């Protein structure tokens, strides 16, 4: 097999975005509670983050909790909030030691205060690191993000003729990072689910039938090798 680190350099692959789908379906197939699927999904994220570091990928953005996920059963929402808090409390120190930069994108101001404090603490601790930049999309919805950007532009009193794509991009949650080169969706679904709609305008899509708890370093390798075979024309 080709050296994946060389492939990443050759293709100039900087940023991978992932829709981590299939935790509940994986658990159901194994006759396990949904909670076990979500816990196993955390392990897959850790493995994927390490793989990105090994392969030389600078940015990884993952869809952890959408603005629509609040519509799930309250019991599951409460579990996910608790899991997210505990995971960050338990894993941030190790990620910091591994030089990971942790950022969060989404409507964070409306999250519970305890969770907001944990997010701020994780970001503050790792902000000066120089390894993989991990963006966790939490309480995130792309349409909501674009509306937020438009409101911000209006509040600045800008004239319509001065509003460009670059201006809008600078008001998005992802303003300080390159757009994703590759969007991966696990679980076999063929939709983007209100995720990074502006940013993935020219991203390559890769859908795998593997559920997120099954995703590992080898699965990421397969996605990168497929990316290598794509011809990115950017409309040209």
List pLDDT tens digits, range 1-15.
Answer: 589 999 999 999 999
* Cα 152 to the center of its chain, rounded Å: 23
List pLDDT tens digits, range 75-123.
Answer: 888 888 888 899 999 999 999 999 999 999 999 998 888 899 999 999 9
Report yes or no on 234 lying in a domain.
no
Report yes or no on 233 lying in a domain.
no
Report yes or no on 103 lying in a domain.
yes
Of 21, 133, 139, 181, catalytic: 21
Range of the domain at 134: 4-228
Number of domains the chain is built from: 1
Of 69, 129, 144, 194, catalytic: 69
CATH number at residue 111: 3.40.1180.10
For residue 12, indicate whether it is catalytic: no
State the pTM of this model. 0.94
Report yes or no on 65 lying in a domain.
yes
Q: Using alpha carbons, select from 77, 52, 47, 51 the residue that is nearest to residue 64.
A: 77
**What whole-number percentage of the chain has pLDDT above 90?**
85
For residue 216, indicate whether it is catalytic: no
């Amino acid at each position: 097999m080709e050296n994946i680190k060389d492939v990443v350099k050759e293709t100039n692959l900087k940023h991978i975005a992932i829709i981590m789908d299939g935790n509940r379906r994986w658990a159901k197939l194994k006759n396990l509670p949904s909670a076990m699927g979500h816990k196993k999904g955390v392990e897959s994220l850790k493995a994927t983050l390490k793989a990105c570091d090994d392969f030389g990928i600078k940015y990884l953005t993952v869809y952890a909790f959408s603005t629509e996920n609040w519509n799930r059963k309250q019991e599951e929402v409460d579990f996910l909030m608790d899991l997210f808090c505990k995971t960050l409390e338990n894993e941030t120190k190790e990620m910091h030691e591994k030089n990971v930069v942790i950022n969060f994108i989404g409507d964070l101001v409306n999250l519970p205060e305890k969770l907001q404090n944990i997010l701020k603490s994780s970001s503050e601790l790792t902000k000066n690191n120089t390894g993989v930049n991990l963006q966790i999309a939490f309480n995130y919805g792309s349409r909501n993000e674009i509306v937020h950007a438009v409101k911000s532009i209006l509040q600045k009193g800008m004239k319509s003729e001065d509003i460009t794509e670059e201006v809008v991009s600078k008001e998005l949650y992802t303003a300080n990072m390159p757009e994703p080169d590759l969007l991966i969706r696990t679980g076999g679904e063929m939709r983007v689910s209100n995720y990074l709609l502006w940013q993935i305008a020219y991203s390559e899509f890769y859908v795998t039938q593997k559920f997120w708890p099954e995703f590992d370093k080898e699965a990421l390798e397969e996605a990168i090798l497929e990316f290598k075979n794509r011809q990115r024309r950017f409309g040209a």
